[in-house]
Amino acid sequence: MLKFFCTLLISCLLITYHAEAQTWSDNETVPWLMSRITLLADTSMHGRGYVKNGREKASAYLQQQFKKNHLVPLGVNKKYTQPYYFQVNTFPGKMELAIGGQKLQPGVDYIIEAKSVSFSGSKIPVKKINLEGIATKTQWDALLAAFGKAPGAYYLANMDTLSKALGIRRAALVGQLPKGCFIIPQKDKFVWTVSRSNIKATVFYIKSGIEVADNQTADVHVEAKLLKKCKNDNIIGMIPGEVKDTFIAITAHYDHLGMMGSETIFPGASDNASGTAMLLYFQHYFQAHPQHYSILFISFSGEEAGLMGSKYFTSHPLVPLKKIKFLTNIDIMGDASDGVTVVNATEYPNHFALLQGLNAKYDYLPQVKSRGKAANSDHYHFTEAGVPSFFVYTNGGKGYYHDIFDKAEELSMARVDKIAQLLIDFIKEIK
């Protein structure tokens, strides 16, 4: 009788577990995802970058979650991590810019060029230079030489005009600037990045509406630090399937831009706390619903620094790349009001037809847009290594990207639960 009762109790618990998993999957997806996004984009994570151990904190959290979700560790030395290193330029200390005594707000009034070096000075006269009259490379080289002979602070008007006249991208022109402080007005929205190198100059891009008069003074204090061997790690785990040595891969990068100085944080809620949260969601789902093939989960670091994590993994694979039947990389999962876009759709038309067919059958999203090959996220190095791969991102939202406004509370999460269902259905159907 006792044996019968125990068997009955275990059966009831299993039925209850699977029922709860399914109910949770159907009805609680958005709140569940939002709670993880909020945690990953919290100020305590310091933008998951290279100042104040932000990336390390995010890594520790994800390792904990991989373990909690009972994934088999596939990292180095039977851990979840795959360590590797690269050089990165950081801004761990002061980040101050004031013009004419007016202190400007970082991220709102200006951003610093990510390749900039340290600079400090008070009440420096700012010489205003109009680049509109520079029409030849010879003239530009002469101006650079003049800057080099008189290091100081310069306001460079009409840099975009110069770029068009010389046929040289603005970034390349900035890279030619000598030691000194250079202020460049910008009409477009601020989009920051991560650099693995530095230049000779300290360069600020300021909002074009901020007036700077010739010989107006500036107070500039920037602390930059080039980390020549910055430790990173990818996080790798697996849910075994019936066929344990063949994989369907789900990937998302967990890093972001970090901090621009010791106070200004780039939270990275959409990019890519949202994709990281969805990766964790898929772990829960596929633990409750094991598949024919093993499900491989990889959370990359170094994406914002140039796809460094995925590049390292494909060069030092912890599973044979030829054993990955298909890889789905997820990034920017905060608002699918206008559906999703699929990079590599043109490269793998049969898989794209499957995805579109499932969407049409269940009416998940308004559209599943096709896009060709692009080196814009971590799928790229797998595609180049011969692994069939998609990169899926959402279409919608407020346009906050690589800026200080990409916060959890700004995400609508519209139809994000439908994306989760669509991708689950898609992964189940891959043969």
DSSP for 20-61, written as a single string: HHHHHHHHSHHHHHHHHHHHHTSGGGGGGSSSTTHHHHHHHH
CA torsion 365→404→268→366, rounded to 10°? Answer: 0
pLDDT of the chain, 431 residues: tens digit per residue: 433 333 333 333 333 333 333 333 446 899 999 999 999 999 999 999 999 999 999 999 999 999 999 999 999 999 999 999 999 999 999 999 999 999 999 999 999 999 999 999 999 999 999 999 899 999 999 999 999 999 999 999 999 999 999 999 999 999 999 999 999 999 999 999 999 999 999 999 999 999 899 889 999 999 999 999 999 999 999 999 999 999 999 999 999 999 999 999 999 999 999 999 999 999 999 999 999 999 999 999 999 999 999 999 999 999 999 999 999 999 999 999 999 999 999 999 999 999 999 999 999 999 999 999 999 999 999 999 999 999 999 999 999 999 999 999 999 999 999 999 999 999 999 98
Same-domain check for residues 59 and 163 = no
- The whole-number pLDDT of residue 8 equals 35
- 11 within some domain: no
Give the domain extent around 44.
Answer: 28-89+228-429
Domain final residue pick, 222, 242, 260: 222
Query: For residue 179, what is the domain's CATH number?
Result: 3.50.30
Domain final residue pick, 171, 193, 222: 222
- The whole-number pLDDT of residue 284 equals 96
Query: For residue 372, what is the domain's CATH number?
Result: 3.40.630.10
- 8 within some domain: no
The helix/strand/coil state of 371 is strand
- The whole-number pLDDT of residue 3 equals 38
Same-domain check for residues 243 and 384 = yes
Residue in 287, 197, 299 with CA at minimum distance from that of residue 240: 287
- 21 within some domain: no
Same-domain check for residues 130 and 202 = yes
How many structural domains is the chain composed of?
2
Distance CA 328, CA 177 (A): 41
